[in-house]
Amino acid sequence: MTKTAWLFPGQGSQHPEMMADLLTAYPPAKERCEQAAAVLGWSVIDCCAGRVGNLDQTLYTQPSLFIVESLLVDALKERGAKADFVAGHSLGEYAALYAAEVFDFTTGLKLVQRRAELMNAAGDGKMVALIGFDREQLQEAIASTPNVVLANDNHPGQVVISGLPAAVDAVLGKIKVKRAVPLNVSGAFHSPLMAEAAATFATLLEECTFHEAIFPVLNNVEPEPTTDAAVIKARLRSQMTGSVRWVETCHALAAAGVTHALEIGPGTVLAGLVKRTTPEINVTSVATMASLESLV
């Protein structure tokens, strides 16, 4: 029996046209955007059009992606689609939890908004994507250098390190790497340096009601499927300081018998990561209503 996973991309997959198709082809989109604007104080439609904020700034990126991905989830469910597992990459985990009905849209949006505010305000950190390296050499360099961690384990040949700028540079000086790409972020995301922000975020998280997931969820910090609301909340509490274990997520999905996945959201970043890690899982992009309608 074919098993399907729904995967949700995170920050970096956004683009100005990502709302356009939904606004013209999915009637509930406009009302959802109005609902979101009442919470956020700004319109995702105006943000994508360049009239408000900056879509590539964390403060605006994260809520905008959550809104787009939640709309695609609703459209899929309205057409009877179901998942065997859900997972999201960093911010995408919030859309995965919405898909699994762990929380409603407004709760998810408020969490994402606060997360974005805290991450946007973070400072004194640096993140660099590494492509083409010796993993053992990298692990040894990180282990011998304080204040730097492996933040994103994206696929066997690509990771992101995160930490204090001097520590990140020290690691780069200890290893051979084909390509090192500094990320345009405000802080050392997915590292212990986010502890203060994570503690502040935990206060809001504790006030939110989480429900048992209708689809098993694989969390970033612990890619072991669960539907338990308390476990999911505990894992989410650790997400801001913990690593995104995407390679392990892909292997866990394959081990569970997943052969097909939908990348729900703009772009095809996750399709590339899955292909390089578990090529036996075929990934289909669901970024527009046209692509969605062709599946269901």
What pLDDT sits at residue 123?
Answer: 83
What pLDDT sits at residue 241?
Answer: 97
What pLDDT sits at residue 170?
Answer: 98
Q: What is 81-118 written as a DSSP string? A: ---SEEEESTTHHHHHHHHTTSS-HHHHHHHHHHHHHH
Q: Which helix (H) or strand (E) holds 153?
A: strand 148-155
What pLDDT sits at residue 134?
Answer: 96
pTM of the model: 0.97
The class (CATH top level) of 126-182 is alpha beta
What pLDDT sits at residue 129?
Answer: 97
**Residues labelled catalytic:** 90, 190
Q: Which fold has domain 3-122+191-293?
A: Malonyl-Coenzyme A Acyl Carrier Protein; domain 2 (3.40.366)
Torsions phi, psi for 239 (to 5 deg): -65, -40
Running along the chain, 296 residues long, what does each successive block of 10 average in pLDDT?
94 95 97 98 96 95 98 98 98 98 98 96 93 97 98 97 97 97 92 96 96 98 98 97 98 98 97 97 97 88
What pLDDT sits at residue 96?
Answer: 98
Domain with CATH 3.40.366.10 in the chain: 3-122+191-293
Q: What angle is formed at CA 70 by the lines to CA 68 and CA 72, rounded to 5 degrees?
A: 75
Contacts of 27 (CB under 8 A, 6+ apart): none
What pLDDT sits at residue 164?
Answer: 97
Domain with CATH 3.30.70.250 in the chain: 126-182
